[in-house]
A and B are shown apart, each in its own frame.
Chain A
Amino acid sequence: MKNSLCYAVLAAFLLPGLTGGEAAAQAPPASPQDPPQAQAPPEGPTQSPDQPAPEVTPPAVLESVKAIYPADELGKHMEASVLLLATIEVDGSVSAVSVLESGGDSFDRAAIAALKQWRFTPAKRRGVPFVSQVRVPFRFALAGHPPEPAAKPETPPPPPAAPPPDPHIETDKPPPAEEPPAEAAQRYESTVRTRRPPPPRATSDFVIDRTVLTAAPHQSAGDLLSSAPGVYIARPEGDAVAHQVYLRGFDAEHGQDIEFTVGPVPINQPAHIHGQGYADLNFVIPEVVRSLRVTEGVYDPRQGDFAVAGSVDFDLGVAERGFQLHSDFGSFGTFRQLVLWAPRGQPEETFGAVSIRRSSGFGQNRGSLSGGAIGQYAFGSGDTRGVVHVAAYGGRAGLAGVLRLDDVQAGRVGFYDSYPDPTATAQSALSTRAQLAVNVEHRAQNGARTTFAVWFLFTTFRLRENFTGYTQRSRQRPDFIGRGDLIEQEHRDIALGARFAQRTRRLEPTPWLSGTFETGFSFRTDFIDQAQNLLQAPQNETWDRRVDASIRGADIGLYADGDFRFTKYFRLRGGFRADVLYYDIDDRLGNFTPSSEQENHIIGFRRTALGVAWGPRFTAEAEPVRALTLTASYGEGYRSPQPRQLEEGENAPFAKVRSLEGGFRLRLYGDHLTLHGAVYATLLSRDLAFDPQEGRLEQIGPTRRVGGVAYLVARPLHWILASLSVTYVHATLTAPPPATVENPLPAFAPGQLLPYVPPVVIRADVGVNRRITQLGKHELEGRAGLGFTFLSPRPLPYGQQAAPVSLLDLSAALRWWFIELGLQVFNVVNTRYAAVPYSFASDWGTRPVPSLLPVQHISAGPPRSVMGTVGFHF
């Protein structure tokens, strides 16, 4: 009966989604009356018609000042030309001027002095100002001379025939209507440098730009992900441990099912002791995130290891140039200081940022201190450009650990507290990270593109956490028992890698077929040392050793990808990817002899394994009318195995994922409203789940997710933005989990729901940002934002379910001249919720007779917290 109701509700949900196509079908085909894509940069052949480069408006002159002929040159009767490059800030002022072509010192100074007094309307992307650069020529001529030939605006150069290079677009814009003074500045060219969104690979391939990311308040770069459809993100283990991410039916734990990248640098760590694919995003400073690309599913041949639920790429850049200081302070003794420097006159990719944060935490044993720096420098010009990226981070946090829900409900321990036990109060985490990457891109005159990147990564991780209280027995010394299950995990990883890609020029074998073809190569190698022990608090005496291993791994990926258009209505993207993975494992505690058996060998287990994972990824796209794009996508991806679980010579049993999606993208009112709708299915051959007794991931068998997603972004006015996403998933286990000695008859029911996965995730972001009034010479601007997350009841093991979660965050800020004051309130209604629920057996001594039944445990989500911000922009 319950299931019947469920399915009825599901059908009711899906039907309106399908009939949403009715509105799409009623949309008229593109016509000349449609709002034009005003001043959008020209599209290159790889650019999706539905996802054009952001709607960019170049800067235009508001006020100009004539340059004064230098007095010291008057007697020489000279004429001179000066070409200047000016940086236009978001307020329209000229912040930096450099000389591109000199006419002599005097003329240069005169031109610069004049140009610095000019005022512009700033360049805008989707109505949001950003820093841009213009080239302005000055011509100095004495009175009586014939009119200057360049006195009239010149016809702008035609758009480049070949696609501009990613990640930038350089667009030469026509001169504005406002004509600069004839004598001093006859014309200027604006150079708008912006990142082109990559061509979408599915309906659920979202590029979430900063206007959406900043609409609602966020506390960390990882939290930015909450604005993506179908994502729920939590940080149950504090500032020094990776976020826990749920994406479209996947409990991705700390990243096992999502491939995270920051530019060319992969974030996931294979063979991590705390979980395969562990991805710590804490090093990313949120203020430098320009956009997120969230690809839900695996449809792009560039997606590599861990792209099971999908992939997330952080695009870094700072639009507002200058020097910024931000101090945040608020609840629970939290203080954060940000120093951000984005040198004027440099592209958005050039910046440096330092952040320090400390907090006493919202409950017992939750204090933290962290700091990080991240910087980039963009170099090169013209056909060859590059970015040097460097980042470093360190953080330490106390961990409150998880609590038995029955203890909380009985008042034996407070919701935000930690167990009053040395083994609980000793929980902590420490992580460090340093990385360096260089990415170079060359675009040939014919449009072919070559990219090459190298990166280096060093991370350390040490975690002490007790999930189960007092249940463990030492395997090394079986008489050691009852000393507390304080698991210590240690992981060190030195990794380096490279990426190379070559894209052809635009090929046009027939008039109705054109496109490009790309081949790519990626490589990474890891040198890992890891250990896991049991410690006895408070002196941290080791009372058992569980893991002591060194792992050398390598991943060589190759892909081929085509992007071809058949007539103007159809497009096919896709290709193949293959990865070769190699592991050399020195498991120093392998072949362990229990004390009950006689030793007949020296412990240790060294083995090697190699395997190949490959699969196709394709996306077919149709555009019957200009406002509507239909897509169908299929792809096969993989997750690498946990090397310590491999046997000698094993062919690296990859977790194979098959993703299938069909959907539409609808753009209305000149892109002021976009709607994505899709249905999808994801089949995974080997899923993983967290095992609290070992503090790591274990296999649970094959799984399937089927669902739908709707995502709406509306920009009804240039100062208001709203986005809403609704994601439904039906996530099930499709076969019994593998039998183990501890569980020889794993329970299974056909259609059994995957625990912990919220079937419905709703997310809304609303932001307003507009001028309020003029105070003195400067405008007073106001900004307000709202973020709302809803999780439907999450199924738990044993037919139980976790309560639904509703979270509301609000923010408001005022900015005048260089001063900014802001207020952010997280969890406004002070919802008491489990950020992450678990189910397992534990014994914390809270009952006279321990129970060995798995019961619900919780990791408390943060209560209401208020943060004030003082910012200075120079």
Chain B
Amino acid sequence: MDTLHRQSLSPRAVAAAAVALAGLTLAPGCGPAAQTPVSYPLYGESTGGVFMVGDWQVTLDVARVGIGPIYFCSTAGASAELCPTSLNEFADVAVIDARDPTPQRLGEVNGVTGEIRSVGYDLAYTWFPRQAEPTAAPMAPEGHSAHFEGQATGPEGSFRFIADVDVVPRYAGLRAIRQVTGVDTRVTDSALRLDIRLDPQSWWKVIDFSALGEGNVGTSLPVLIDRTDHNIVVHDTLVARITTAAGAPTFLWSPTGP
């Protein structure tokens, strides 16, 4: 009996062990995570809807640009092969009023902390792997990447124009625009905001309005621009401008403070 008594564990030790064990089981483990989830707001803004192109004053009455989805990558390139997994993303499509220079809330960017080095995105026209062909998103302005209505006034008079611009991915599974400049940033937490700035002036500045208005000045019918039947060259010029560094949207992350 004496032996048994001496071999018993003390009640205090047992109780301490039980309490410690109960506490331990609730802990998921001790250690930092290399990456943590983040979520921050996305805003869109523009340079405005009235600008000069040579001798022509261009006034945009309607300028709606669809943007998204946007996938930010940690890789040097944002191709689907290099970037099968995004670091941050805006998995949605939103529309920016490109006449409005004030920030417009578009939604939320979600993801995890890390260094962003490239971005791939669409302008409301997608060709996901499961889609048989390029498809405009339901939110796409008038079913296009961008929809413009405006008036150009120049030395010869004025004319109206309507442009439906489609920035279409070239291959299935690819983003329409992949860019690596201007997107270097390190996302460390959610105290951020992202502003996408469009510059429609830079897009339209390469258009020869004299040529576009030839024969249309003074008429009531608007000049149509689209990728099918009307002024295709102008349409493609706009697309080329939008998808190259000179005219592509810029991304600006800024802290929002505590």
Which positions in A face B, CB cutoff 8 Å? 2-3, 5-7, 9-10, 12-13, 15-17, 19-20, 22-23, 26-28, 33-34, 470-473, 478-479, 481-482, 668-669, 693, 726, 728, 730-733, 741-745, 747-753, 757, 759-760, 762, 790, 792-795, 797-801, 804, 840-841, 843, 845, 847-854
Contact across chains for B84 and A693 when beta carbons are under 8 A apart: yes
Are A743 and B75 also in contact (CB < 8 A) when A16-B13, A28-B6 are? Answer: yes
Q: Does B85 contact A (CB under 8 A)?
A: yes
- A799-B25 contact given A473-B173, A849-B93, A853-B112, CB 8 Å threshold: no
Alpha-carbon gap, A487 to B13, bound state (A): 54
Which partner residue on chain B sits nearest A35 by CB separation? B3
- Given the known interface contacts A15-B20, A744-B76, A852-B89, the answer about A6 and B30 at a Cβ–Cβ threshold of 8 Å is yes
Select one of A478, A693, A797 contacting B35, CB under 8 A: A797
Which chain B positions have C-beta within 8 A of A741? 75, 82
> Which residues of B have CB within 8 Å of A6?
27, 29-31
Contacts of A23 in B (CB 8 A): 7-10, 13
Task: Report the minimum CB–CB distance from B194 to chain A (whole Å).
Answer: 16
- Among B126-134, B207-215, B220-228, the stretch that binds chain A is B126-134
Q: Which 6 A-B pairs have the closest CB atoms?
A: A6-B30, A482-B129, A16-B17, A799-B33, A12-B20, A793-B28
Contact partner, A13, options B20, B36, B37, B81, Cβ 8 Å:
B20
Q: In the assembled complex, which residues on chain B have CB atoms less than 8 Å from the CB atom of A852?
A: 71, 83-86, 89, 91
Shortest Cβ distance from B4 into chain A, in angstroms? 7
Q: What A residues does B26 contact at CB under 8 A? A: 792-793, 804
With both chains docked as a complex, state the minimum distance between the C-beta of A290 and any C-beta of chain B, in angstroms: 31
Q: Is the CB of B23 within 8 A of A12?
A: yes
Which of B34, B74, B91 is within 8 Å of A847, CB to CB? B91
Assess whether A482 is in contact with B173, with CB atoms less than 8 Å apart: yes
Evaluate contact between A16 and B20: CB separation under 8 angstroms: yes
- Pairwise interchain contact A19-B115, C-beta atoms closer than 8 A: no
A482-B173, A853-B86 given; A730·B29 CB < 8 A:
yes
Question: What residues of B have a CB within 8 angstroms of the CB of A482 in the complex?
Answer: 128-131, 172-173
A403 to chain B, nearest CB (A): 18
What A residues does B68 contact at CB under 8 A? 849
Q: Is B32 an interface residue (CB 8 A)?
A: yes
CB distance from A306 to the nearest CB of B (A): 25
Given A728-B24, A849-B91, A471 and B84 contact (CB-CB distance below 8 Å): yes
Select one of A22, A745, A804 contacting B10, CB under 8 A.
A22
CB distance B130 to A759 under 8 Å? no
Within 8 A of A (CB), among B55-84: 68-69, 71, 74-76, 80-84
Q: Is the CB of A22 within 8 A of B13?
A: yes
The answer to the question of B110 belonging to the interface, with a C-beta cut-off of 8 Å to chain A, is yes
A732 to B76 Cα, complex, angstroms: 28
- In the complex, whether B114 has a CB less than 8 A from a CB of chain A is yes
Asked if B138 is at the interface (CB within 8 A of a chain A CB), the reply is yes
* A851–B8 touching, CB < 8 Å: no
**B-side interface residues toward A, CB under 8 Å?**
3-4, 6-10, 13, 16-17, 19-21, 23-37, 68-69, 71, 74-76, 80-86, 89, 91-93, 110-115, 117, 126, 128-131, 137-138, 171-173
> Shortest CB–CB separation between residue A800 and chain B, in angstroms?
7
Rounded to whole angstroms, the CA-CA distance of A799 and B34 in the bound complex is 8
Across-interface contacts of A804 in B (CB, < 8 A): 25-26
B contact residues around A728 at 8 Å (CB): 24
Q: Which residues of A contact B131 (CB under 8 A)?
A: 482
- The one of A26, A798, A851 that contacts B37, using a Cβ cutoff of 8 Å: A798
A790 touches B85 (CB 8 A): no
- CA of A749 to CA of B137 in the docked complex: distance in angstroms? 39
Q: A751 near B31 (CB under 8 angstroms)?
A: yes
Q: Choose one: A745, A757, A851; the contact of B74 (CB below 8 Å).
A: A745
Assuming the A-B contacts A743-B74, A797-B35, A848-B138, are A9 and B20 also in contact, with contact meaning beta carbons closer than 8 angstroms in the complex? yes
Bound together, the chains give a CA A28 to CA B24 distance in angstroms of 32
Most chain B CB atoms below 10 A, which of A17, A847, A850: A850
CB distance from A369 to the nearest CB of B (A): 33
Which residues from chain A contact B6 at a C-beta distance below 8 Å? 26-28
Using A792-B26, A843-B130 as known contacts, say yes or no to A730 and B16 having CB atoms under 8 A apart: no
B25 lies within 8 A of A762 (CB): yes
16 A–B pairs (Cβ distance < 8 Å), ordered by A:
A9-B27, A20-B13, A22-B10, A26-B6, A733-B34, A742-B75, A747-B114, A751-B32, A792-B24, A792-B25, A801-B28, A840-B85, A841-B86, A843-B130, A849-B91, A849-B93
- Report A-chain residues with C-beta under 8 Å of the C-beta of B91: 847, 849-853
How far is it, in angstroms, between the C-alpha of A744 and the C-alpha of B76 when the chains are bound? 8
Q: Which of B4, B69, B112, B172 contacts A481 (CB 8 A)?
A: B172
Which residues of the partner chain A approach B36 to less than 8 Å between Cβ atoms? Answer: 798-799
| Chain A positions within 8 Å of B71 at CB level | 852
Contacts of B130 in A (CB 8 A): 470, 482, 843, 845
Q: Give the residues in chain B near A731, CB-CB below 8 Å.
A: 29
On chain B, the residues within 8 Å of A794 by CB distance are 28
Residue of B nearest to A485 (CB): B129
Assuming the A-B contacts A6-B30, A481-B173, A482-B129, are A12 and B16 also in contact, with contact meaning beta carbons closer than 8 angstroms in the complex? yes
In the complex, which residues of chain A have a beta carbon less than 8 angstroms from the beta carbon of B115? 745
Give A801's nearest chain B residue, CB to CB.
B28
Q: Which residue of B lies closest to A469 (CB)?
A: B130
Partner among B23, B33, B85, B111 whose Cβ is within 8 Å of the Cβ of A9: B23
Which A residues are CB-close (under 8 A) to B28?
A: 759, 792-795, 801
Enumerate chain B residues within 8 angstroms of A16, measured Cβ to Cβ. 13, 16-17, 20
The answer to whether B114 touches A745 (Cβ under 8 A) is yes
Q: Within the assembled complex, what's the spacing in Å between the Cα atoms of A669 and B13?
A: 20
Report how far A847 CA is from B89 CA in the complex, Å: 14
Given contacts A799-B36, A845-B130, A847-B91, contact A5 B173 (CB under 8 A): no
CB pair A473–B35 under 8 Å, yes or no, is no
Q: CB distance A33 to B3 under 8 Å?
A: yes
A862 to B208, CA, bound (A): 68
Q: Which residues of A contact B93 (CB under 8 A)?
A: 849
A760 to B81, CA, bound (A): 38
Residue in B21, B25, B83 whose beta carbon sits within 8 Å of that of A742 in the complex: B83
Q: Is the CB of B24 within 8 A of A13?
A: yes
In the complex, which residues of chain A have a beta carbon less than 8 angstroms from the beta carbon of B92? 849
Do A759 and B86 touch (CB < 8 A)?
Answer: no
Q: Which residues of B contact A841 (CB under 8 A)?
A: 84-86
Task: Report how far A10 CA is from B29 CA in the complex, Å.
Answer: 9
Determine the chain B residues whose CB is within 8 A of the CB of A793 once the complex forms: 26-29
A481 touches B114 (CB 8 A): no
Contact A853 B24 (CB under 8 A): no
**Considering only CB atoms, which chain A residue lies closest to B74 in the complex?**
A745
Choice from A12, A26, A854 contacting B7 with Cβ under 8 Å = A26
CB-based contact A853/B85 at 8 Å: yes
Which residues of the other chain, B, contact A845 by a CB distance below 8 angstroms?
Answer: 130
**A843 & B128 in contact (Cβ 8 Å cutoff):** yes
Besides A5-B27, A22-B13, A749-B32, 15 more A-B contacts (Cβ < 8 Å) are A6-B27, A16-B16, A17-B17, A28-B3, A471-B129, A482-B129, A669-B4, A733-B34, A747-B34, A759-B27, A760-B24, A790-B25, A793-B27, A852-B83, A853-B89
In the bound complex, CA of A852 to CA of B80 (Å): 10
Find the B residue at minimum CB distance from A791.
Answer: B25
Alpha-carbon distance between A141 and B172 when the two chains are bound, in angstroms: 100
CA distance A783 to B110 in the complex (A): 55
In the complex, the chain A residue whose C-beta lies closest to that of B120 is A852
CA distance A797 to B114 in the complex (A): 13
Q: How far is the CB of A339 from chain B (nearest CB, A)?
A: 42
- B8 contacts which chain A residues (CB < 8 A)? 23
Nearest-Cβ distance from residue B90 to partner chain A, whole angstroms: 9
Q: Give chain A nearest CB distance to B27 CB in angstroms.
A: 5
Least Cβ–Cβ distance between A872 and chain B, in angstroms: 43
CA distance A7 to B117 in the complex (A): 36
One of B25, B33, B85 near A753 (C-beta < 8 A)? B33
Cα–Cα, bound, A849→B26 (Å): 37
A731 to B28, CA, bound (A): 11
Complex Cα spacing A8 to B172, Å = 53
Instruction: Contact check, A748 vs B34: say whether CB atoms are below 8 A apart.
Output: yes
